[in-house]
Structure 1
Amino acid sequence: MSLKSFAARIFAKFIDRKTRKWSENPIETQNKVFKHLLETASSTDFGNDHNFKSIKTHQEFTKQVPVRDYEDLRPYVDRVVDGESDVLWPGKPLYYAKTSGTTSGAKYIPITKESMPEHIKAARNAILSYINETGNSHFVNGKMIFLQGSPEMEDKNGVQLGRLSGIVAHYVPGYLQRNRMPSWETNCIDDWETKVEAIIDETLPEDMSVISGIPSWVQMYFERIVQRTGKPVGEVFPKFNLFIYGGVNFAPYKARFEQLIGRQVDSIELFPASEGFFAYQDTRNEKGMLLLLDAGIFYEFIPADQFYDKNPPRLTIADVEVGVNYVMIISTTAGLWAYNIGDTIAFTSVQPYRVVVTGRIKHYISASGEHVIGKEVEQAMKEACDVQQVIINEFTVAPQLNPNDGELPYHEWFIEFDQNMSFDKKKFSADLDQALRNQNSYYDDLIVGKVLQPLKITTVPKDGFKSYMKTIGKLGGQNKLPRLSNDRKIASFLESLS
């Protein structure tokens, strides 16, 4: 065992003890974060506007600080971006993480000297947690690749601006720098397809042990390796044994990954965002990711089915229940206050608090009152694929409310299947529909009541989804395809490919 591998195991045990200390005292931990946030920001413009100095309880906080999304918070953020100090958080941010907005165009999410270390610590601790549980630390000696955005930064009124993954690239620990790939020059390539080819050029001769990134884009990297070498990825990289991912549910991609790799590898799931690093998979034996309660983030949860009510309840972790779909609201050391990040989660455990991401509050189908969410379509797809061992590359779902010839409306599933698949498509469609009906009683009622007819599948040609992402300027990096939509914007493009 190398010195680095041995040291990683010792450090992993130390971090595990620290993690247990706060995770076994969750309410006390969150109360400390809540108090620290209010006291630190009490003299900021936002703190003065919302009378932070008078707030002592969560109930008082909910009365004085309304839930906001980016557009609602934008008057304050714009002042920060214009160069003002002490607006949302003391001083000025270290960085702005630039993300793509919907109504607001580009969004500039502040990252402060207090919040930045939490992003790095969480990513590190996720790996250390894996090492502590499995005893596998040999991979720290091999090469590691992180498929991410460009680390190049630009100046925005004296503050550095970039993509979160590019910002994080500046904080890779020195002891990993020699192991880390791709090179700085390759990481700076903007065009994703050119970048992937350059990454392959660099990594093929290397002893890769860890590969990390959003599954859809890692899949593209794997496919290109197989095309170029004629070998499965696991044979090209014999010591590759750990895949780290976040951003989307891995289940729909798992069968395709195993096909491309040629064997199974361990994986670690992360829940990062520009607004904060919220959770990571702390054990392979339990479902869900450990919610990070000591990371400068105070969490609130609104039941998703009440989110659009006039005065929905805002719950703390002391009030949540396992299995309920919640919209996650955060207040952070980056100066985001009662901020709706748009993600929905469900708790799989409250001892400790573990979560799964169930989708986006704006990404659902409820054209007929069914309110189908991302978690449900992903689980239905997994179950249907398992029956006939079907492998898919990508999928999305949209409602068809005005079908031809007087048919009943239906959900249209756009699926890119593996080209080598041979299976009973009619049975697959029936299995998929039944799996969704089993999970969503509203959808089942609409089928039984003949308000909707069973779903229909439209096969998407090879690379059809990549073509769509390219047309909207979101090919590669940290960009993700919505699993479902309540309109047919994506569907219309995919229909044009048929």
Structure 2
Amino acid sequence: MGLKSILSNVFAAWVNKDLNRIRKNAVAIQKQTFENLISKAKNTTFGQDHHFDQIKSYDDFKRQVPLRDYEELSLYIKRVVNGEADVLWPGKPTYLTKTSGTTSGVKYIPISKESMPEHIRAARNALLNYIHETGKADFVNGKMIFLQGSPVLAEKAGIPTGRLSGIVAHHVPAYLQKNRLPSYEVNCIEDWEEKVDAIVQETVTEDMRLISGIPPWCQMYFDRLSAVSGGKKIKDIFPNFKLFVYGGVNFEPYRVRMQESIGFAIDSIETYPASEGFIAFQDSQKEKGLLLLVDSGIFYEFVPTDEYFNENPTRVSLQDVELDKNYALILNTNAGLWGYSIGDTVKFVSKDPYKIVVTGRIKHYISAFGEHVIGEEVEQALMSVANQEGIEIIEFTVAPQVNPPAGALPYHEWFIEFGTAPKNVKDFALKVDKALQTKNIYYFDLIDGNILQPLIVQSVKRDAFINYMRSQGKLGGQNKVPRLANDRKIADGLKEYIV
């Protein structure tokens, strides 16, 4: 065991002690976080507009601060982006993260001097928690790769601006810099495919032990590594590769193919980072769920998803959440986001400690006929059948077909890129449809009542989704293919790739 491994185990034990404090005192920590946030921001423009000086309780806060998404908070954010100080949080942001919004185009999310360290601390603690739980620390002695956006930053009114992953690259601890790949020069390449090829050349002969990134783009990296290595498995290219860290999308639809590429079932850590804050990470290799980070400068609220679009939906803090109930996640942060709907939906799988799973996006669902099918239901229905039948799924998306051919009932249209295709696609589609009916009673009623016909699967060509994302200028980085949509923009874009 190398010196870094020994020191990592010592540090991991210290971090675990602190995480246990958080696990045992989550509600009290959230109360303190709430009070600190209100106190710190009471003299900002937002704090004055919403009478923070009069807020003495969470109930007061709910009366003073409405729920808002990015578009509804954008009047304040625009002032921040224009260089005005003390708008949402004291002073000016340290950074602005640039991200793509579903309806708002480019979004700019502030990162403050208080919030930036929390991103780094959470990523560090996810690794150290793994070391403490498993005793496996050898990966710190080899090379680590983080597939991420360019670290080249622009400026908005003197504020450094870029993708979150590119900003984080500037804050990698010194003790990891020598182990970290790709090089700065390669990381700055903007074209994703050119960048992946350069990363392959730079890493193929290295002792890679930890690889991190969004699963579909890591898969592209693995495919190209294998191609330049004569078809070798990743375990044969990187014999000491032992840990995969991911976030951004559900890993399950990618797991089988990725493990086939690697050559074994590798240990993995799921993380939940966002431009708005680092929200949770997987703290156990044995138990389900992600540990909610309640001590990271974020006060969380939760809105039942079935009330989200109501005029006055229920808002609860951590102490009042229920298990196995879908909530829209609401953030109040030490970068100045208030009553902010991040757009994700979560479900608690434990309250001792508080652990969540991400179930989808509040605006990514299908309810063209009142069914309100969500991402979790779609993914579980598809993967349950695929896993039973040994069918490999590379990528997929679903859209409603509300204008079927004359005389036909409307339906859900699934576009699936198969790695291993079913022998009979229609039979496969019927099984997935039955699985979805068991997960969503409204969908069952629509099928049973002959309002909808069973779903139809369109098998698309290999690399169809990569080619589609390329055509949209969204290949690589933090870009993801939405699983569900109520419109047919993606579906229409995939028509040319149908087999």
Q: Which whole-Å deviations, capped at 9, do the CAs of 1:350-377 have from their partners, x for residues lacking one?
A: 1111001111111000111110001111
- 1:179 pairs with 2:179: yes
Tell me, in whole angstroms, the C-alpha distance in 2 between the residues paired with 1:426 and 1:142: 48
Deviation at 1:429, TM superposition (A): 1.6
Give the length in aligned residue pairs: 497
Tell me, in whole angstroms, the C-alpha distance in 2 between the residues paired with 1:296 and 1:58: 16
Tell me, in whole angstroms, the C-alpha distance in 2 between the residues paired with 1:25 and 1:158: 40
Match of 1:112 in 2: 112
Q: Is the 8 A contact 1:345 1:357 kept in 2?
A: yes
Match of 1:189 in 2: 189
Tell me, in whole angstroms, the C-alpha distance in 2 between the residues paired with 1:400 and 1:239: 48
Match of 2:490 in 1: 490
Q: Secondary structure at the match of 1:314?
A: coil
Tell me, in whole angstroms, the C-alpha distance in 1 between the residues paired with 2:13 and 2:319: 28
Match of 1:286 in 2: 287
| Letter matched to residue 196 of structure 2 | V
Tell me, in whole angstroms, the C-alpha distance in 1 between the residues paired with 2:143 and 2:193: 22
Q: Is the 8 A contact 1:390 1:423 kept in 2?
A: no
- 1:153 pairs with 2:173: no
Deviation at 1:259, TM superposition (A): 1.2
Q: Secondary structure at the match of 1:432?
A: helix
Structure-to-structure mapping, 1:196-211, within 5 angstroms: 196-211=196-211
| Letter matched to residue 232 of structure 2 | K
| Letter matched to residue 9 of structure 2 | R
Q: Is the 8 A contact 2:426 2:456 kept in 1?
A: no
Q: Is the 8 A contact 2:71 2:104 kept in 1?
A: yes
Deviation at 1:154, TM superposition (A): 1.2
Deviation at 1:36, TM superposition (A): 0.2
Match of 1:218 in 2: 218
Aligned-residue identity in percent: 58
Match of 1:27 in 2: 27
Q: Which whole-Å deviations, capped at 9, do the CAs of 1:239-274 have from their partners, x for residues lacking one?
A: 111100001000000010011111110000000100
| Letter matched to residue 286 of structure 2 | N
Deviation at 1:494, TM superposition (A): 0.7
Deviation at 1:103, TM superposition (A): 3.1
Q: Secondary structure at the match of 1:243?
A: strand
Q: Secondary structure at the match of 2:435?
A: helix
Q: Secondary structure at the match of 1:313?
A: coil
Tell me, in whole angstroms, the C-alpha distance in 2 between the residues paired with 1:423 and 1:150: 42
- 1:346 pairs with 2:358: no
| Letter matched to residue 6 of structure 1 | I
Match of 1:267 in 2: 268
Match of 1:247 in 2: 248
Q: Which whole-Å deviations, capped at 9, do the CAs of 1:151-206 have from their partners, x for residues lacking one?
A: 00112111100100000000111111111000000000000000000000001010
Match of 1:8 in 2: 8
Match of 2:66 in 1: 66
Deviation at 1:487, TM superposition (A): 1.0
- Kindly tell me: are residues 302 and 422 of structure 1, through their superposed partners in 2, closer, same or farther at Cα, counting changes over 3 Å? closer
Structure-to-structure mapping, 1:422-461, within 5 angstroms: 423-461=423-461
| Letter matched to residue 204 of structure 1 | V
Match of 1:303 in 2: 304
Q: Secondary structure at the match of 1:354?
A: strand
Tell me, in whole angstroms, the C-alpha distance in 1 between the residues paired with 2:72 and 2:44: 18
Q: Secondary structure at the match of 1:219?
A: helix
- 1:144 pairs with 2:171: no
After superposing the two structures, state which structure 1 stretch, 31-40 or 487-496, moved more.
487-496
Match of 1:84 in 2: 84
| Letter matched to residue 371 of structure 2 | E
Deviation at 1:422, TM superposition (A): 5.6
Q: Secondary structure at the match of 1:406?
A: coil
Q: Which whole-Å deviations, capped at 9, do the CAs of 1:186-241 have from their partners, x for residues lacking one?
A: 00000000000000000101011000000011011111112221111111111111
Structure-to-structure mapping, 1:311-326, within 5 angstroms: 311-326=312-327
Match of 1:43 in 2: 43
Deviation at 1:402, TM superposition (A): 1.5
Q: Is the 8 A contact 1:302 1:328 kept in 2?
A: yes
Match of 2:333 in 1: 332
Q: Is the 8 A contact 1:234 1:240 kept in 2?
A: yes
Deviation at 1:117, TM superposition (A): 0.4
Tell me, in whole angstroms, the C-alpha distance in 1 between the residues paired with 2:352 and 2:5: 31
Q: Which whole-Å deviations, capped at 9, do the CAs of 1:131-160 have from their partners, x for residues lacking one?
A: 110000001111100000000011211110
Q: Is the 8 A contact 2:422 2:428 kept in 1?
A: no
Tell me, in whole angstroms, the C-alpha distance in 1 between the residues paired with 2:80 and 2:412: 43
Tell me, in whole angstroms, the C-alpha distance in 2 between the residues paired with 1:231 and 1:354: 38
Tell me, in whole angstroms, the C-alpha distance in 1 between the residues paired with 2:4 and 2:79: 46
Deviation at 1:426, TM superposition (A): 3.3
Q: Secondary structure at the match of 1:117?
A: helix
Deviation at 1:346, TM superposition (A): 0.5
Q: Which whole-Å deviations, capped at 9, do the CAs of 1:426-476 have from their partners, x for residues lacking one?
A: 332222111111111111111111111111100111111111111211100
The gaps in structure 2 that reach 5 residues or longer are: none
Tell me, in whole angstroms, the C-alpha distance in 2 between the residues paired with 1:463 and 1:69: 34
After superposing the two structures, state which structure 1 stretch, 399-408 or 44-53, moved more.
399-408
Deviation at 1:421, TM superposition (A): 4.2
Q: Secondary structure at the match of 2:171?
A: coil
Give the TM-score normalised by the residue count of structure 2: 0.98
Q: Secondary structure at the match of 2:311?
A: coil
The gaps in structure 1 that reach 5 residues or longer are: none
| Letter matched to residue 136 of structure 1 | K
Deviation at 1:497, TM superposition (A): 2.4
Deviation at 1:424, TM superposition (A): 3.7
Tell me, in whole angstroms, the C-alpha distance in 1 between the residues paired with 2:430 and 2:385: 9
Match of 1:388 in 2: 389
Q: Is the 8 A contact 2:368 2:400 kept in 1?
A: yes
Q: Secondary structure at the match of 1:480?
A: coil
Give the TM-score normalised by the residue count of structure 1: 0.98
Deviation at 1:73, TM superposition (A): 1.0
Tell me, in whole angstroms, the C-alpha distance in 1 between the residues paired with 2:404 and 2:485: 17
Q: Secondary structure at the match of 1:491?
A: helix
Q: Is the 8 A contact 2:144 2:180 kept in 1?
A: yes
Deviation at 1:102, TM superposition (A): 3.2
Match of 2:360 in 1: 359
Q: Secondary structure at the match of 2:330?
A: strand
Deviation at 1:423, TM superposition (A): 3.3
| Letter matched to residue 366 of structure 1 | S
Q: Is the 8 A contact 2:426 2:457 kept in 1?
A: no
Q: Is the 8 A contact 1:388 1:423 kept in 2?
A: no
Calculate the aligned-residue CA RMSD, in Å: 1.0
Tell me, in whole angstroms, the C-alpha distance in 2 between the residues paired with 1:126 and 1:108: 26
Deviation at 1:317, TM superposition (A): 0.8
Tell me, in whole angstroms, the C-alpha distance in 2 between the residues paired with 1:111 and 1:190: 23
Q: Which whole-Å deviations, capped at 9, do the CAs of 1:334-360 have from their partners, x for residues lacking one?
A: 000010110010111111110011111
